A = this chain, B = another copy of it.
Amino acid sequence: MPRVTESYREARREEIALAALRCIERSGLGDTTIADIVRESGLSAGAIYSNFTNKAELARYVVAHFLGVRRTRIEDGGRRGEVRSPRELLGTMLSTFRESVISPAVPLQFWAAAAVDPGLREELDRTIAEISASLRIAVAPWVAARQPDRDLDEVVRGITALAQGYIVHVAVLGPREVDDYLDAMAAALPERD
Chain A 18-29 interface mask (CB, 8 Å, partner B; 1/0): 000000001111
Q: Give the number of times this chain occurs in the complex, counting copies.
A: 2
Chain A 106-137 interface mask (CB, 8 Å, partner B; 1/0): 00110111111100010011001000000000
Residues of B within 8 A of A30 (CB): 29-31, 112-113
Task: Tell me if A95 counts as interface (CB < 8 A to partner B).
Answer: no
Q: State the Cβ distance, A83 to closest chain B Cβ, in Å.
A: 9
Chain A 149-188 interface mask (CB, 8 Å, partner B; 1/0): 0110011011101101100110111000000011111111
Pick the contact of A165: B128, B150, B161 (CB < 8 A).
B161
Check if B85 sits within 8 Å of A193, measured CB to CB: yes
Residues of B within 8 A of A165 (CB): 161-162, 164-165, 168-169
Cα A109 to Cα B168 with chains together (Å): 12
Q: State the Cβ distance, A88 to closest chain B Cβ, in Å.
A: 8
A interface SS class: helix
Q: Give the residue name and chain of the B residue nearest to A111 (CB).
A: B172
Check if A172 sits within 8 Å of B124, measured CB to CB: yes
Task: Tell me if A3 counts as interface (CB < 8 A to partner B).
Answer: no
Chain A interface residue count, Cβ-Cβ cutoff 8 angstroms: 54
Which residues of A from 60 to 83 have beta carbons under 8 Å from B?
none
Beyond A29-B30, A169-B164, A184-B158, whether A147 also contacts B113 by CB under 8 A is no
Pick the contact of A87: B154, B158, B183, B193 (CB < 8 A).
B193
Cα A109 to Cα B112 with chains together (Å): 5
